[in-house]
């Protein structure tokens, strides 16, 4: 009964490096969402993807951030040239697309930029 | 105006107390409503959906008032394990994107 799988759980990067965060949705779910949570703050929507398509990226920073959800394999959130302000918990969620059922979240990736 | 607004709290209550959280949303076209629970440094977990007629799950009761664009969560007989942040969640536009409130902190003390 695998839920939403995120890896790595913890990621440390030096300023200027790239961070790649992975998310495998629940079995049967084809909709993936990425959220960011800064310390002591709420969840902020970043991007919504369906297989091979970006549906809504209104929460993505204009630069350095990108996301994909290929036909095969997990969804990837990529942050290039990380800065200290990127340090946060990044949560991935998936759904079947039915509005009635909400999302299921993964355990998150905690990114620390040093 | 924020899309989803909640009182951040914290609500400090003794065990056994009844506590209620409120939430307002800005988009009258919203269709789906949920309460999630988030424990410290963990992922949010679905607590319950909120239906127009109101719904109950054990000690938890959720209400929706579409006219006032207002959602509530009532917790009866609070337990220490209820201590968490409670997130009000609404789908803001037609489609699948959910918007999360900033959360209300509940601390239940013995």
Residue B23 CA: distances (Å) to CA of B2, B5, B82: 11, 6, 18
Q: Which residue has the higher pLDDT, A77 or A41?
A: A77
Point out the residue among A41, A45, A107 whose CB comes nearest to the CB of B99.
A45
**Residues 6+ away with beta carbon under 8 Å from B72:** B20, B21, B22, B23, B62, B63, B65
Can the peptide bond before residue B35 be classed as cis, meaning omega within 30 degrees of 0?
no
| CA distance to partner chain A, nearest, from residue B51 (Å) | 10
Q: How many CB atoms lie within 10 A of CB A52?
A: 10
CA distance A7 to A24: 9
Residue A20 has pLDDT above 90, yes or no: yes
Average pLDDT along chain A: 93
Ranges of residues in chain B with a pLDDT under 50 are none
Q: State residue B95's pLDDT score.
A: 60
pLDDT in tens, A69-111: 999 999 999 999 999 999 999 999 999 887 777 899 999 999 9
Q: Which chain B residue shows the shortest CA-CA distance from A4?
A: B43
Contact B61, B69 (CB under 8 A): no
Report the share of chain A in percent with pLDDT over 90: 82
Q: Considering only residues 36 to 75 of chain B, which have any Cβ-Cβ distance to chain A shorter than 8 Å? A: 36, 41-46, 49
- Distances from the Cα of A83 to the Cαs of A23, A40, A44, B59, in angstroms? 22, 19, 18, 44
β-pairing, A53-56 with A104-105? unpaired
């Amino acid at each position: 009964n695998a839920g939403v799988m995120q890896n790595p759980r913890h990621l440390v990067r030096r300023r200027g490096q790239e961070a790649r965060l992975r998310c495998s949705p629940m079995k049967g779910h084809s909709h993936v969402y990425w959220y960011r949570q800064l310390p002591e703050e709420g969840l902020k929507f970043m991007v919504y993807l369906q297989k091979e398509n970006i549906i809504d990226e209104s929460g993505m920073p204009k630069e350095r951030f990108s996301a994909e959800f290929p036909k095969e394999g997990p969804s990837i959130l990529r942050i290039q040239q990380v800065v200290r302000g990127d340090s946060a918990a990044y949560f991935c969620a998936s759904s079947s697309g039915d509005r009635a059922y909400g999302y299921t979240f993964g355990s998150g990736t905690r990114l620390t930029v040093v | 105006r924020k899309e989803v607004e909640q009182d951040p709290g914290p609500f400090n209550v003794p065990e056994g107390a009844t506590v209620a959280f409120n939430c307002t949303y800005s988009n009258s076209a919203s269709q789906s409503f949920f309460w999630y629970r988030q424990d410290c440094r963990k992922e949010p977990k679905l607590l319950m959906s909120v239906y127009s007629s109101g719904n109950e799950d054990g000690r938890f009761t959720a209400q929706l008032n579409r006219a006032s664009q207002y959602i509530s969560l009532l917790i009866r007989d609070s337990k220490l394990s209820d201590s968490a942040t409670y997130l009000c969640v609404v789908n803001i536009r037609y489609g699948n994107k959910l918007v999360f409130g900033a959360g209300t902190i509940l601390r239940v003390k013995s």
